[in-house]
Amino acid sequence: MNIFDAIAKRHSYRGPYKPDPVPQEDLRQIVQAGLDAPSGRNSQTTRFVIVDDPALTEQIRSMRGANAGQAAAPAFILCITDADPECKPDKMTFHVEDCAAATENMMLALTALGYASVWIDGWLRGSGRAEAIGEMVGLPKSKVVRILMPVGVPAEEGPHREKMPFEQRAWFNSYAV
C-alpha cells in the first residue's frame, strides 16, 4: 500500500478486534515508524512500550471506561513522554508534538499492514488511568503514558467519515471562505 492509500484508508477504529495476536515483527515495524518520525531539535524524547503479554493486555482491556475495541485489542502501544516537560523560552521542548508525530506515523504504518487502531489520550487523563498503566509496565514517575494505541486486525469494517473537500479547508496564497 502506498503512503497516499494509507492516509486515505486510516481512520479511528473503535470496533472489536479479531483475537489473533499481532506478530512482534509487525509491532516492531509499526513502532520503528514512530521512532523514524521527526522530533523538535532532533531531541528524540518519545519512548514506547509495546504490550502484547496476555496478562498485561487483559489488565488494560478491563480498565473502567474502556471502549469496545479497546476491550478486545490483542496488543497496545504506549507512547511515553516526560511527565512534566520543562517549557521555558530559553529551553523550549516539543514532547507533545514529538509524540503526536510518532503516533501518526505509527497509525499510517499499522494501516498499511492491515491493522486498525484509535489514538486514545482523553481516556488516559481521567481516573488515574495513565498512571495505572504506567505502573503496570514499570514506568518511572518522571514519565507518563501520553497516548495509548490498541492494535489488532479489525473484526468489522470501521466507519470512514467523509472529509470536507479541499476547497473548503485549504487555499493557495491567502485564506478564503
The pTM for the full model equals 0.91
**Non-local CB neighbours of 134 within 8 Å, separated by 6+ positions:** 143, 144, 145
| 12 grid coordinates | 479511528
Q: Express each pLDDT in 16-42 by its tens digit.
A: 999 999 999 999 999 999 999 999 888
Pairing of strands 47-51, 143-151: unpaired
Q: Residue 31's closest CA among 109, 122, 89?
A: 109
The residue with cell 497516499 is 4
Q: Express each pLDDT in 48-78 by its tens digit.
A: 999 999 999 999 988 988 776 677 899 999 9
**What interhelical angle do 129-136 and 54-61 show, nearest 10?**
170
CATH of domain 3-157: 3.40.109.10
Q: Which of 6-10, 12-16, 30-34, 117-121 has the highest mean pLDDT?
A: 30-34
C-beta separation of 74 from 17 below 8 A: yes
CA distance 71 to 62: 6
Sorting pLDDT into bands at 50, 70 and 90, what band is 89?
low
CA of residue 138 relative to chain centroid, distance = 19
Task: Identify the burial level of 62 via C-beta atoms within 10 angstroms of its C-beta, where 0-12 means exposed, 13-18 middle and 19 or more buried.
Answer: exposed
| Domain extents in the chain | 3-157
For the chain, the residue count is 177
C-beta separation of 169 from 121 below 8 A: no
